[in-house]
Amino acid sequence: MPTVSNSQKLYSLALFFLFVLLSNVSSISTKEADALLQWKASLQNDPNKVLSSWTYKPNNNSFNSSTKTQPSTTTPCTTWFGISCNIAGNVIGINLTNCGLEGTLQNFSFSSFPNLAYFDLSLNSISGTIPPEISSLSKLIQLNLSTNQIFGKIPEQIGLVSDLQVLVLSNNKLNGSIPKEIGYLASLTELDVHANSLGGPIPTSLGNLTNLAYLHLEINSLSGFIPLEMGNLSELIELYLNNNTLKGPIPSSFGNFKKLKVLSSFQNQLSGAIPKEIGNLISLKELRLHSSNLSGPIPESLYDLRNLSYIHLQRNQLSGPISEEIGKLKSLIEKLTVLNMFKNQLSGFIPSEIGNLKSLHSLGLHGNRLSGSIPASLGDLGNLTALLLSNNTLSGPIPEEIGKLKSLVSLENQLSGSIPSEIGLMTGPHDFLIASNGFNGSILREIGKMKSLRRLPLDTNNHSSHSCLYGKLDSFS
């Protein structure tokens, strides 16, 4: 009787395990397919028919009545739109972004997808609440439900999805508070819940998310103090807290954000001064603290930030002088494009060093208590499209160098003397706002050469006569 060789035994064993594996894959795929079809059936609308591929497609074999088995079919891993699988046949990704789907998550069988890693339903019309069963997605890495019509609370069970790295729930109708359980998501790198109706305080547990790089809490109704624990988020790149009702000071612990590029906390009810530790944010490009009820002086450490492109400090109660240091740092000279400090209580002179900021597009200093003369160096700002200096107590003549600027000039102050002929050289579309000054002499013909002039208010000046104006004005007062 012939004997079976070891190689034959190994081959037979391999075939057996392959059969078992394929059987399990078929079983898994069928379970997940059934769950997807159940959810598809619950949807109210699929206007683009993207889910038309979600169907069993039998081959040419007929139904076997003796064994009562179905013929082979396609699985979610083959032709189903938006579905991706791993090599074992498990569904690991569902991407149905911007498909126009209408429905809810109430009939989505979360427990049927133990291997799901990526779930994206953004830019649809999904409504209803987020079911607590979402905690069944134990291997989920990214969840994006943004820009839908989801309402209700963020379930505290979200804190059980321990592998989650990206959680985006923005632009929905969520209410209630941010659950403290989000602080359990130690792997989280992005948390975006902006543009909802979330209220209550920012949970201190967010300070546990030490891998967080992007935090968007803006455009909600969050209240209370900014937690000191947020200073633990040393990996932050973007921090958006704007358009809430947060109060109290900006924590000095924000100085730990060495990688931060955007700090946006405008439109809040903060108090106190800008902390000097702001100067530690060596990567900062955008600083947006306007309309936040801040007071006190602008810390000189702010001007040490070498990467700043945008400084928005307007509509606060900031006081004291503008430091001449602002125009001395070479890297700031090359990068700063917007400097808005208007409608504060700043005093003293406008430092001539501002004229070194060659990349500046917008300079807004109006509505302060600035005095002295207009620095001639401002005329060197060749990229400037808006120079707003009105409603201060500036005096003296308009420097002839201002005529080198391209666009909007607002100079309503206590200026005197005559209007320099160089003003007629301004080429860009602009308003030339010089009312409420003490100018004398005539309005020069050069002003009439401003072909793009839109407005020229002249009231409350001492002009003895008006020369003919050749420019076309949309309005003239």
Tell me if 179 sits within 8 A of 202, measured CB to CB. Answer: no
Residue 386: its pLDDT value, please?
87
Residue 60 tokens read as: 């040419």
Backbone angles phi, psi at 315, to 5 degrees: 55, 50
The sign of the CA dihedral 239, 245, 247, 249 is: positive
Residue 173: its pLDDT value, please?
99
Residue 62: its pLDDT value, please?
44
Q: CA 405 to CA 81: how far, in whole Å? A: 56
3-state secondary structure of 26: helix
Mean pLDDT of the chain: 84
Backbone angles phi, psi at 225, to 5 degrees: -85, 155
Residue 447: its pLDDT value, please?
56
For the whole model, what pTM was predicted? 0.85
Residue 73: its pLDDT value, please?
52
Per DSSP, the residues of 129-155 read: ---GGGGG-TT--EEE--SSEEEEPPP
Tell me if 445 sits within 8 A of 421, measured CB to CB. Answer: no
Residues of the chain falling short of pLDDT 70:
1-29, 57-74, 407-408, 411, 413-418, 420-477
Q: CA 387 to CA 410: how far, in whole Å? A: 6
Residue 241: its pLDDT value, please?
99
Residue 78: its pLDDT value, please?
83
For each of the domains in the chain, give its residue range(s) and CATH number, in order of start: 23-57+71-170 (3.80.10.10), 175-320 (3.80.10.10), 353-477 (3.80.10.10)
Residue 30: its pLDDT value, please?
84
Helix or strand holding residue 27 (H, E):
helix 6-42
Residue 409: its pLDDT value, please?
73
3-state secondary structure of 34: helix
β-bridge mates for residue 399, sequence order? none
Instruction: Tell me which residue of 162, 161, 163, 169 sits closest to 192, measured CA to CA.
Output: 169
Q: Which residue has the tokens 């991706």?
A: 84
